[in-house]
Amino acid sequence: MSEETKSLNFIEHIIEEDLRNGLEKEALRFRFPPEPNGYLHIGHTKAIGISFGLGEKYQAPVNLRFDDTNPAKEEQEYVDAIKRDIAWLGYQWANELYSSDYFQQLYDWAVALIKEGKAYVDSQSSEAMAEQKGTPTQPGVDGPYRNRSIEENLDLFQRMKAGEFPEGSHVLRAKIDMQHPNMLMRDPLMYRILKKSHHRTGNDWCIYPMYDWTHGESDYMEQISHSLCSLEFKPHRELYDWFKEQVYKYQPEALPMLPKQREFARLNLSYTIMSKRKLLKLVEQGVVSGWDDPRMPTISGLRRRGYTPDSIRQFIDKVGVAKRDNVIDVSLLEFCIREDLNKTAPRVMAVLDPVKLVITNYPEGQEEWLEAENNQEDESAGFRKVPFSRELYIEKDDFKEEASSKFFRLKLGGEVRLKNAYIIKAEGVVKDADGNVTEIHATYSEDTEKKVKGTLHWVSIKHAIKAEVREYDRLFLDEAPDSHADKDFMEFINPESLKIIDAFVEPSLLEAKVGERFQFQRLGYFNVDDDSTSEKLVFNKTVGLRDTWAKQAPKNNENQPAKKQNQQSNRPAIEQIKSYGKKYDRMKDDERVKAKSEIQELAQNVSYSDVEPLFGTSAKKVGTRIITMITLGVLLNNGLERNSEINDFIAKALDDKNDLLVAEAKAL
């Protein structure tokens, strides 16, 4: 077996087998069939990626077909949003189609099935039909209308179409087998009366086809070769095949291809709701501002929050194509956007929780414009000028009157470097009546070559631009908010999912355009929100520089003996970090993301003196070198100043052959 064959997923194996068995490559055709009853969410991106990805791989057409058979829930707004989202992800469809295009053909085929005695009109209540259908362990029983004459069925069905009957009075059912082991084969519904205006056909129809009847026949009419859907449709495959086999005889020459349905595991994400019905509830009840609220898992919401198409496509690639349902940690999605934005986002300075810093020996009224690198990951990004003056804002958390040696930021008597500027020393503070520090007084030194351990970001007060920052967190506090039988998913809403912050940013951001993405140095990645104007800048927090949920999320240690847990927690943080090094480079993507988050959390309790001895780790121990790089990243983010040893360690990693190590080094 070749390396290429080994790398194929199971769907590609099916297609390759079909091609070997005589299917012409030119006959390959795929489709993505959303129902326009809501916005697409992150779960749909897997189905989109699979179908359009196969189209790209085999240079085969992919149809975008809207399964619009329920006018009570479907709207043109959703059609437009779906098209916009798929195009934004970078995919192109061959044909834009609608199941409503086929309403007449579906009706004609239904009449043909009635004439063959394979469909009938049932006039019972839905409750009576459900009772007769039986259970998975108990066969169904025939209803009183199952053996109506063909003439009566034709007459009733035509009158249903003509609008003579009220909703719920009649349905059309396929006549298959009420004792069939698969309950979906027990005379499934084909049509119901629904007197609602359709977004495309208006009031032309008052009977609408059911999904199972519409979906497979639409695939057949479009001559789809492989109908790909998620695992919940696997029991439907038998009915899918039955319907297509019934209509095949009507046009075998014009429509020779019988589609093949195959199922893959759907994408489930932790801390996330994937039901469009439940997402609509969030919108309707005002929990979020709309379908594109940046807390929503919709593609529109992710786009507004600052996610990129490449990050989502990379995420789908990492998730892969599986046959079994599983839950993917949302940290993997956040990891992908961090990786992407690290390469592309310009670095700027912003202060979200300011405290005033006065440099007492800097001349009053003087200002300088200092050179700052835009992105060390992109040589073509160039430099910009940032203004410096006597009075600055820094983050409140970046100053303590007294602190331990593990605190690499500013403390009384201590020195730090101001990013792109001078080294300062804290000399004193001014406090309010409650004892809160309102001003820090410091002196600066023009000796910028001096070695110090910390580096802080800052903004000149004189030049600072006020901006609104919307700091988003996960919308739900529970890992599986809709999995509790005794609780409503709304009970797990995170009340702190949105914080509005009045921040100060450097003046270069006055030119920022809606949608542009930036790294606020040492804080995270942010983008310009749709609400932003020339008078008021509004930024959304896309993601932090590291996973802050690692500390909050309870670890599942139920299977570990209590003694072992205590031993682990009592071990020094650096020793716990080192234990990851033995297998870090051999972990699966989702395992690695979780391990990285745990390392980053442990690194909060590590000093530079703990990490520096690991710089000389043997090249063979690449896992240890990677976890050292991750730990170092946290220390640098917390203000640790780079020195020659750090620069040498990073430089050697950049020349390494291990992609994981190189990626972590590039991130620094």
Strand (E) or helix (H) holding 64: strand 62-66
Active site residue 516: no
Could you count the other beta carbons within 10 Å of the beta carbon of residue 105?
A: 15
DSSP 147-207: T--HHHHHHHHHHHHHT-S-TTS-EEEE-S-TT-SSGGGSS-EEEEE----BTTTBTS-SE
Query: Alpha-carbon torsion 406, 407, 409, 412, what sign?
Result: negative
Q: Which of 237, 276, 295, 470 is catalytic?
A: 276
Q: Which of 35, 217, 471, 664 is catalytic?
A: 35
Among the listed residues 538, 547, 532, the one whose alpha carbon sits nearest the alpha carbon of residue 337? 547
Q: Which of 266, 384, 417, 592 is catalytic?
A: 266
**What type of residue sits at position 162?**
A
What does the chain come to in residues?
668
Q: Say which residue the tokens 């009566």 belong to.
A: 152
Active site residue 35: yes
Percent helix, strand, coil in the chain, to 5, is 40, 20, 40
Rounded Cα–Cα distance for residues 186 and 47 (Å):
29
Among the listed residues 467, 422, 418, 425, the one whose alpha carbon sits nearest the alpha carbon of residue 442? 425
Could you count the other beta carbons within 10 Å of the beta carbon of residue 165?
A: 18
616: exposed, middle or buried (C-beta count within 10 Å: 0-12, 13-18, 19+)?
exposed
CB 355 within 8 A of CB 426: no
Among the listed residues 492, 416, 403, the one whose alpha carbon sits nearest the alpha carbon of residue 453? 416
Among the listed residues 467, 461, 337, the one whose alpha carbon sits nearest the alpha carbon of residue 389? 461
Active site residue 196: no
Strands of 119-122's sheet, edge to edge? 119-122, 171-174, 189-193, 207-209
Point out the residues that are catalytic.
35, 266, 276
